[in-house]
Amino acid sequence: MLTGAARAALQPRYLEHKRFLADQLLAAVAALALFTTAFVVAATLALHTGLRRRDLGLLRLIGAGPGRIRRMLLGEAVAVALLGSAAGGLLGLAAAPLLGRLLLDLDAAPPDLTIRDEAGAPLLAAAVGVAVSALAAWASGRTAARVAPLDALLESRDGGRATGRLRTGFGLAALLAGAGAAVATATATADDRVAAAITATAALITAAALLAPALVGPLARAVTGPLLRLRPAWPLLLRGELTVSARRAAAVAAPVIAAVGFAVLLSGTVQTMRAAYPAGQALKLAGQRIVTNDGTPGTTDEAVAANPVGKAALPVRAFVRAAGGATTAVDVLGSRDPGWDRPDRAVLGRSLAERLGVTAGQQCAVRFADGVTVPVRIAEVLPDDPARGAFVMSRAQVRAHDPAALNDDIFVPAGAPATAVPGTAVHDALRYALDDYATDARLTDALAALLIAVATGYGALAAANGAAAATSPSSAPSARPAANCSAWPPARAP
Strands 327-335 and 314-321 turn out to be: antiparallel
List the 289-293 sheet strands across, edge first. Answer: 410-412, 289-293, 424-428
Mean of pLDDT over the chain? 75
Q: In the structure, what pLDDT confidence band is assigned to residue 160 with cuts at 50, 70 and 90?
A: very low
Mind listing the pLDDT tens digit for each residue in 107-117?
666 666 777 77
Is the Cβ–Cβ distance between 39 and 255 less than 8 Å? Answer: yes
pTM: 0.54
- How far CA 320 is from CA of 15, 98, 197, 283, 378, in Å, comes to 22, 39, 37, 35, 12
Mind listing the pLDDT tens digit for each residue in 252-286?
777 777 777 777 777 777 777 666 666 676 667 77
Q: How many residues does the chain have?
A: 494
Phi-psi region of 232 (alpha: psi -120 to 50; beta: other; left: phi over 0): beta
Is the Cβ–Cβ distance between 56 and 474 less than 8 Å? Answer: no
In one letter, which amino acid is 80? V
Strands 391-394 and 327-335 turn out to be: parallel
Q: Which of 37-46, 373-382, 423-432, 439-448 has the highest mean pLDDT?
A: 373-382
Backbone φ and ψ of 241, nearest 5°: -65, -45
**Segment among 12-21, 51-60, 175-184, 375-384 with least mean pLDDT:** 12-21
Q: Is the pLDDT assigned to residue 1 strictly greater than 60?
A: no
Mind listing the pLDDT tens digit for each residue in 384-418?
887 788 899 998 899 999 888 888 888 888 888 88
Look at residue 469 in the predicted model and tell me its pLDDT. 59
39 vs 9 pLDDT, higher one? 39
Q: Is the pLDDT assigned to residue 62 strictly greater than 70?
A: yes
CA 445 to CA 105: how far, in whole Å? 13
- Residue environment code for 447-467, b if the CB has 16+ CB neighbours within 10 A, otherwise e: bbebbbebbbebbeebbebbe
Mind listing the pLDDT tens digit for each residue in 471-483?
555 444 444 444 4
Q: Is the pLDDT assigned to residue 488 strictly greater than 50?
A: no
What is the 3-state secondary structure of 69-122?
Answer: HHHHHHHHHHHHHHHHHHHHHHHHHHHHHHHHHHHHHCCCCCCCCCCCCCCHHH
Is the Cβ–Cβ distance between 285 and 214 less than 8 Å? Answer: no
Mean of the pLDDT values across residues 285-307?
A: 83
Mind listing the pLDDT tens digit for each residue in 184-232?
877 766 556 667 777 888 888 888 888 887 887 787 777 777 776 766 6
Look at residue 453 in the predicted model and tell me its pLDDT. 78
Look at residue 391 in the predicted model and tell me its pLDDT. 92
- Residue environment code for 365-394, b if the CB has 16+ CB neighbours within 10 A, otherwise e: ebbbbeeeebebebbebeeeeeebbbbbbb
Q: Is the pLDDT assigned to residue 443 strictly greater than 80?
A: no
One DSSP character per residue, 243-263 reads HHTHHHHHHHHHHHHHHHHHH
Mind listing the pLDDT tens digit for each residue in 303-321?
888 888 878 888 888 888 8
Residues 6+ positions from 338 with CB-CB distance below 8 Å:
none
Q: What percent of the chain has pLDDT over 90?
A: 2
CA 199 to CA 181: how far, in whole Å? 6
**Segment among 64-73, 100-109, 463-472 with least mean pLDDT:** 463-472
345 vs 443 pLDDT, higher one? 345
Mind listing the pLDDT tens digit for each residue in 127-148?
888 888 888 888 777 777 776 7
- Residue environment code for 399-409, b if the CB has 16+ CB neighbours within 10 A, otherwise e: bebbeebebbb
